[in-house]
Amino acid sequence: MKSDINWVKTHCARMDHGGCSIIVGVKDNKIVKVKGDPDGFLNKGYICTKGLASPDRLTHPDRLKYPLKRVGDRGEGKWQRISWKEALEYTAVNLNKIKEKYGPKGVAFGVGMPKGLEHFVLIRLANIFGSPNVVASQDVCHAPREVTGIHTCGFYPVADLHYKSKLILLWASNITSTNEEGEISSMLLEQVEDGTELVVIDPRKIDLVKKAKKWIQLRPGTDHALALGLLNVIIEESLYDKEFVEKWTYGFEDFASHVRQFSPEKISEITWVPPDIIRETARLYATSKPAVIQWGNPIEHNIHTFDAVRALICLMAICGNLDIPGGNVNAKEPNILGLGPFVRSDLIPNKRKEMVSAYHGVIPRLMTVAPSFFKKAILDGDPYPIKGFYAMCANPMMSYAGSPQTYEAFMKLDFIAVADLFMTPTAAMADIVLPVASQFEIDDIGHYGLGHGFILARPKIVDPPEECWPDIKIMNELGKLISPEEYWHEDYNRFLEDVLEPEGITYSQFVEKGYLKGPQKSKLYEEKGFRTPTGKVELRLSTAEKFNLSPMPSFKGIPEDDDLEYPLILTSSKSRYYLHSSYRWIKKLRDKRPDPKVEIHPETAAKFGIKEGDEVIVETRYGSMSQIAHLTDSIDRRVINASHGWWFPEKGVDSLYDWQRANFNMLTSTEKLGKEFGTPNLKGLVCKIMKK
């Protein structure tokens, strides 16, 4: 019998950063099945539990289906259904009112984890409106690696898992759970099955430790120290790539004498990693070529992220693993529209000086505002007041460090609009809530602007509910009301064509192809040098004085010093079944992980009278919350690992979905921030635990 299911190819989105190619079965405008695409160049058939459950977002009964206007007090959960025309006009009137009184920079535009192209349309909207303030969690995700890379070697060195490496250092990357941008675990697993050696650097015994040659269990928040220790051994033992160092690095002599102070013995005291293991790991990395460092964003989760990333890039460089196949590479983009023209950066030439972060002396080229500085502008008017906020793909009440402060800041704003699929603790604080269409319901381009050298086609598969609009459409229409109409398209889908125009193909031709990849060229520096002021990899930053940066990666301490009152060290992790604070409402995923778990070593638990399944209060100097104890020896006796992103959709809006109870960011604070990116300490805090 002939099947009446229509099978369509697309790429996964919004469930994590991965971008697996998938095949979707559609019948009567409904998705009936999703499977991994064996031809997918990133995933070769792989699909994870989240990907399989992804269609459930679209048909969930709690999905937002029409625009809402707040009628009660802020956060009270009283809403009135309104039309799109009313919603857009109300939003425009309020944003324009703030603009008149405080100037355009009095409005901030916020994004959390974007789906695709809408991220750049948001930046365009801010630029055209005249606000330099796009708030994003880049302080703890991506920007430290990207921007530090640009300062150190002129590009963002991404792991090249497309070419076989001899060794993979999996550094703070639980890739089988989280799948970094464009770095799907299936690619890494394939290499390991094929004989590539794996070293896992993680405070937790993650699944991949089973396949690893070595597991380096370091103290949370000491990645910078460990990297400096490896550099010390490689230079002391003369294991570095002399030819590369001679020709292509700047400041090696100074650098070599600087790292002499980080002996394995000294680093061992900081990181808890035995000196012999530091030596063996350094030797292994330096003598395996090509070797790749697959780095995850936990290295961006404390105030020392700049030093950690600097040290790691220097490690790649002196061992000759930078920009070679199977190392960490400068991925070339396909011939598509550049980000600058797309977001119309020309319209806001003073952005670098005017954005809130600039007043806090962050590193040049950081183009988004760190949430901690955004909140300071709202609460203290420092450096100037922010009064309005338009947010999409974001749940800052859960995801910004220092949640009680986030609540206080949002209570103080004059106007908040939130676009989302579901009501969240953040959407519940808004004046206007806009229901969006999501993946499978919009034509989209994935991985644009992410620096991995490819873009992915994500065509529309089914129609969204009538009043759920694509984010791009919302901003295209709002843009016409709050900025000159000439910058916006009659049909928002034109933005997709704009991106592809330089390549000379239409969106439908792109969908036929599935993806576009940039040319595979390595060692481009041999022709043009590195794109730094010296044309070399800057082990010693030539611009350090000018930009008030440390010239060399240094050790300036650990996130928090030991404290008898708080005898344990706190880290956190994301579950493979969720993405940050999303998807607790998807039954298939919630059944897999019903509760927020805090991992405790059995001996530590016994010391505090805690048993498996007990509710446990975790307390830091900044606050407390509770999660469910899970006893495991996959963690050091001195460390506990809490779950990130937990709120309870089933608890209802009256309690703002019980947003405080198990929220990891009740434990964090914006008191201490990294100078370069405004990064707070999310890992390596001192804490204590007790049975509730």
Cα 688 from Cα 692, distance rounded (Å): 12
Q: How far is the CB of 360 from ligand SF4 (least distance, A)?
A: 34
Say if residues 668 and 680 touch (Cβ distance below 8 Å): yes
DSSP characters over 62-88: T---S-EEE-SSTTS--EEE--HHHHH
Residue (248 or 583) nearer to ligand SF4, CB: 583
Of the residues 18, 114, 221, 453, which one makes contact with ligand SF4 according to CB under 6 A: 18
Which residue is associated with the tokens 């963002």? 156
Nearer to ligand SF4, 53 or 625 (CB): 53
134 and 368 Cβ atoms separated by less than 8 Å: yes
Query: Strand, helix or coil at 32?
Result: strand
Of 12, 419, 616, 689, the residue at the interface with ligand SF4 (CB under 6 A) is: 12
Q: Which is nearer to ligand SF4, 35 or 480 (CB)?
A: 35
- The interface region with ligand SF4, picked from 18-26, 291-299, 407-415, 679-687 by CB under 6 A, is 18-26
Among the listed residues 375, 341, 343, 329, the one whose alpha carbon sits nearest the alpha carbon of residue 356? 375
C-beta separation of 315 from 516 below 8 A: no
- Which residues fall within 8 angstroms of residue 480, CB to CB, at 6 or more apart? 488
Among 16, 181, 241, 323, binds ligand SF4 (CB under 6 A): 16
3-state secondary structure (DSSP) of residue 128: helix
CB of residue 339 vs ligand SF4: minimum separation in angstroms? 23
Question: C-beta of 441: minimal distance to ligand SF4 in Å?
Answer: 16
Long-range contacts of 462-467 (CB under 8 A, 24+ apart): 462/26, 462/29, 462/30, 462/31, 462/58, 463/29, 464/58, 464/437, 464/438, 465/63, 465/65, 465/435, 467/65, 467/66, 467/67, 467/84, 467/435
Cβ distance 71 to 80 under 8 Å?
Answer: yes
Q: Which is nearer to ligand SF4, 186 or 321 (CB)?
A: 186
Query: Would you give the DSSP letter of residue 653?
Result: G
Distance of CA 435 to the CA centre of its chain: 24
Q: How far is the CB of 347 from ligand SF4 (least distance, A)?
A: 34
Binding mask 130-169 for ligand SF4 (x = CB under 6 A): ----------------------------------------
Binders of ligand SF4 among residues 256 to 275 (CB under 6 A) are none
The nearest distance, CB 458 to ligand SF4, in angstroms, is: 11
Smallest separation (angstroms) from ligand SF4 to the CB of 20: 3
Closest CB to ligand SF4 among 17 and 351?
17
Position 234 contacts ligand SF4 (CB under 6 A)? no
Residue 133 or residue 185: which is nearer to ligand SF4 going by CB? 185
Q: Based on CB atoms, which residue is closest to ligand SF4, 302 or 582?
A: 582
| Of residues 42 and 329, the one with the C-beta less far from ligand SF4 | 42
Nearer to ligand SF4, 19 or 298 (CB): 19
- By CB under 6 A, is residue 20 in contact with ligand SF4? yes
Decide: 309 and 142 in contact? Cβ < 8 Å.
no
The CA distance from 541 to 539, in Å, is 6
Q: How far apart are the first and last CA of the chain?
A: 59
Verify binding: residue 462, ligand SF4, rule CB under 6 A. no
Least distance CB 173 / ligand SF4 (angstroms): 13
Closest to ligand SF4 by CB, 116 or 684: 116
The CB-of-47 to ligand SF4 minimum distance in angstroms stands at: 5
Residue, CB closest to ligand SF4: 51
C-beta closer to ligand SF4: residue 461 or 689: 461
| Cα–Cα distance measured from residue 31 to residue 34, given in angstroms and rounded to the nearest whole number | 8
- Assign 3-class secondary structure to 275-343: HHHHHHHHHHHHHCCCEEEEECHHHHCCCCHHHHHHHHHHHHHHCCCECCCCCEECCCCCCCCCHHHHH
Rule CB under 6 A: is residue 19 a binding residue for ligand SF4? yes
- State the minimum distance, in angstroms, from the CB of residue 376 to ligand SF4: 34
3-state secondary structure of 650: helix
| Nearer of residues 52 and 212 to ligand SF4, judged by Cβ | 52
Q: Which residue type is seen at 515?
A: Y
Torsion 80-82-84-90 (CA) sign: negative
- Rounded to a whole number of angstroms, the minimum distance from the CB of residue 425 to ligand SF4 is 23
CB of 45 to ligand SF4, least distance (A): 11
Q: Which of residues 41-70 bind ligand SF4 (CB under 6 A)?
A: 43, 47-48, 50-51
What is the C-alpha to C-alpha distance for residues 68 and 653, in angstroms, rounded to an integer? 14
Closer of 60 and 266 to ligand SF4 (Cβ): 60
Give least dist CB 470 to ligand SF4, A.
Answer: 20
Amino acid in position 60: H
464 lies in the site for ligand SF4, by CB under 6 A = no
- Give the shortest CB-53-to-ligand SF4 separation in angstroms: 9
Nearest to ligand SF4 of 47, 348 (CB atom): 47
Q: How far is the CB of 183 from ligand SF4 (least distance, A)?
A: 10
Residues near ligand SF4 (CB under 6 A), total = 13
Q: Where in 170-189 is the site for ligand SF4 (CB under 6 A)?
A: 179, 184
In terms of C-beta distances under 8 Å and separation of at least 24 residues, what long-range contacts does 473-479 make, across chains too? 474/88, 474/392, 474/419, 474/434, 474/436, 475/118, 475/121, 475/122, 475/124, 475/125, 476/121, 477/84, 477/88, 478/88, 478/91, 478/92, 478/125, 478/390, 479/124, 479/125, 479/128, 479/129
Tokens representing 642? 């809490």
Q: Where do contacts with ligand SF4 occur on this chain (CB under 6 A)?
A: 12, 15-16, 18-20, 43, 47-48, 50-51, 179, 184
